[in-house]
Each structure stands twice: as structure tokens, then as C-alpha cells.
């Protein structure tokens, strides 16, 4: 057998001078009571922490049973801790006046921490669309920075390892959302705050929101002003036309105003005529088509008479 095919894994110094019990203990999660004053929020944390009914319920649970699931933190170079998962639990503990919180301390880099943070929050029952967009964007950028990923200018998949997906496809593989849906969520991060709030409140749907995200800040603010003025929100079709006008350099406040003031199909008034109310004016054998035609002709005649009288 050739020498280059003989591969032996030599034990590390720690393996040589530690017991099996110590080695197994080293693999266990490191859980400590960490002072809240020493824990910093994760920079750019994408998920909002709200003092709502769920927060009140969490506080009651912590008062009765403590923090059941430890938060996750990493030790920073300055000796302080950085929250990875557990911002809501930390807020609840702070409001309760507790001095510390049970935390699992993990030894990871900042990019690895971003991926852990997003993955640990992905199973939450409710995540606002724009929060999800910010989280996906942070994780995607972290994945791109990890060793072994394709260079920024390289659009092709990695060729010589088992990872053959591009960054966004890799992100989709670990998510319940498709590649296209992830890209839509990330587009929401290009909206100004007012429009993001409308999206998270369900007042603007995903598709029109994505189209609006391609407008510059000034045009987006024009849309917000017209939403306030017209008390209506842009449809998908309206958003598409505004984006097209913007890309052609033709979008200004007046164009936004014209588009936003159009009546949408669901805003146009509709009414029905009961047959019982008008049957006395028609023969019993009149077909529905002739029935409608005669009504329209009668309305046209009435309009002409009114127009003459107005002269």
C-alpha cells in the first residue's frame, strides 16, 4: 500500500492528558447564570421585541418557573457577552428586575452567530414579513462570507466540494420558503420604514410591496403621502406601473398621484335591479339580453333629455 494512502488521525494533546469523563463533559452545553448587565444585544438584530400580551405571558411564566430554555450568547473579545437567541427572554427578565439569566455560552464567530440566530428564530409562530426579510438578508450575507463559499464575482456553484448550490439556494434549502420567496422577503428591506410598517400590518401585500421596493426614497415617500391622502393602498398593478415609470425616468409626484387616485375594481360601485321592481314595464316573453338592452337605451334617452334641459 502506498504511503500517501495511509492516513492516521493522531490524538490531540488534550486527548492524551484528559480522562474520558472530562472529554465527555467538554462536549456538554455550557450553561451559566450570566448577569444581564454583561449581555449586549446582537448588532442589527432583525426581530422586534414588543411589550405586548405575549411579553406579559412570558413574564408570568418566568416569575413562576424561571427561564426554562436558556438563552444563547457568545463571549466577545472585550469579555462581555453578545446575545444570539433570547432577546425577548432578556427583555422579560429586565422588566422583572432579575439580575441574571440562564444562558448557553457558545464559541462561534460573528457570522456563525448570525446563522444560529436566524435558524433559532425560524420556528417562531409569527414573524413579521420585514423582520423575516432582514433576517434572511443577514444570514445570506453571512453565508457568503463563510470560508469555502464562491467569490463575489463568481456566479457559478462551488465545483470541488459537496456544496453545489449558490448562496441563496443554500439558504432556501434550510428554509420553508422557496428561493423566489426569500428574494421577495429580502426586497422588503429596501422599503422605507413607513411602507415596511404597512406591510407588517397587512395593509400592503407582498407583491405590490416588492414592486415599490425598486423605487427610490423620494418616490416611496410620495407613495406614503398619497396613501395618507387617498386612504387607499396601491394594488399590484398600480405598483407595477409606478415601478415601470420609475425605471423609464418618468415617475414624479403627479404620476404617483394619477395612479393612486384610480378606482380599483373592488372600489367601483355595483348594484342590482330586482326583476319584480321593473317587470311591469316589459312583456313576460322578453329575454334577459333584450331586458338589459332596453334598460340601457332608456337610460341613454333620459341622459339626452337631461343634457337638453341643462342648455
Residue-level pLDDT at 19:
57
Residue-level pLDDT at 270:
56
As a whole number of angstroms, the distance between CA 145 and CA 111 comes to 8
**Nearest to residue 58, comparing CAs of 71, 39, 41?**
71
Alpha helices, H only, the chain: 13-16, 20-27, 53-65, 87-95, 110-121, 129-145, 167-173, 179-187, 193-200, 206-212, 217-230, 236-247, 253-260, 275-278, 288-310
Q: What is the mean pLDDT of the chain?
A: 82
Which grid cell is 67? 427561564
Judge whether 206 and 183 are in contact, CB under 8 Å: no
Domain parsing of the chain, residue ranges = 28-147+174-182, 191-267, 275-303
Residue-level pLDDT at 160:
36
130-164 per-position pLDDT tens digit = 999 999 999 999 988 876 554 444 433 333 333 43
Residue-level pLDDT at 23:
47
- Say whether pLDDT at 126 is over 90: no
How many angstroms separate the Cα of 62 from the Cα of each of 15, 53, 114? 40, 14, 26
Q: Is 100 exposed, middle or buried (0-12, 13-18, 19+ CB in 10 A)?
A: middle
pTM of this prediction?
0.69
Residue-level pLDDT at 152:
45
pLDDT category at 3 given cuts 50, 70, 90 is: very low
φ, ψ of residue 46 in degrees (nearest 5): -80, -15
Tell me if the domain spanning 28-147+174-182 has CATH number 3.40.50.300.
no
64-111 per-position pLDDT tens digit = 999 999 999 999 999 999 999 999 999 999 999 999 999 999 999 999
Amino acid at each position: 500500500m502506498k504511503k500517501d494512502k495511509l492516513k492516521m488521525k493522531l490524538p490531540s494533546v488534550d486527548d492524551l492528558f484528559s480522562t474520558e469523563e472530562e472529554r465527555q463533559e467538554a462536549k456538554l452545553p455550557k450553561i451559566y447564570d450570566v448577569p444581564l448587565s454583561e449581555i449586549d444585544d446582537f448588532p442589527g438584530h432583525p426581530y422586534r421585541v414588543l411589550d405586548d400580551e405575549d411579553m406579559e405571558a412570558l413574564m408570568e411564566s418566568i416569575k413562576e418557573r424561571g427561564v426554562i430554555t436558556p438563552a444563547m450568547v457568545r463571549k466577545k473579545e472585550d469579555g462581555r457577552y453578545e446575545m444570539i437567541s433570547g432577546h425577548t427572554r432578556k427583555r422579560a427578565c429586565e422588566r422583572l428586575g432579575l439580575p441574571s439569566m440562564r444562558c448557553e455560552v457558545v464559541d462561534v464567530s460573528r457570522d456563525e452567530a448570525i446563522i444560529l440566530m436566524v435558524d433559532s428564530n425560524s420556528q417562531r409562530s409569527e414573524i413579521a414579513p420585514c423582520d423575516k426579510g432582514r433576517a434572511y438578508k443577514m444570514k445570506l450575507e453571512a453565508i457568503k462570507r463563510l470560508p469555502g463559499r464562491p467569490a463575489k464575482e463568481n456566479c457559478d456553484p462551488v465545483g470541488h466540494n459537496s456544496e453545489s448550490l449558490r448562496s441563496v439556494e443554500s439558504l432556501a434549502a434550510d428554509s420553508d420558503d422557496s428561493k423566489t420567496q426569500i428574494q421577495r422577503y429580502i426586497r422588503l428591506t429596501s422599503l422605507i420604514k413607513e411602507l415596511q410598517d404597512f406591510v407588517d400590518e397587512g395593509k400592503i401585500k407582498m407583491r405590490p410591496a416588492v414592486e415599490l421596493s425598486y423605487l427610490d426614497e423620494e418616490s416611496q415617500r410620495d407613495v406614503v403621502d398619497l396613501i395618507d391622502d387617498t386612504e387607499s393602498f396601491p394594488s399590484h398593478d398600480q405598483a407595477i406601473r409606478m415601478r415601470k415609470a420609475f425605471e423609464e425616468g418618468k415617475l414624479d409626484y403627479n404620476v404617483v398621484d394619477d395612479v393612486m387616485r384610480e378606482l380599483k375594481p373592488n372600489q367601483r360601485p355595483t348594484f342590482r335591479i330586482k326583476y319584480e321592481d321593473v317587470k311591469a314595464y316589459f312583456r313576460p316573453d322578453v329575454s334577459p339580453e333584450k331586458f338589459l338592452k332596453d334598460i340601457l337605451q332608456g337610460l341613454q334617452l333620459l341622459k339626452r333629455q337631461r343634457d337638453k334641459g341643462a342648455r
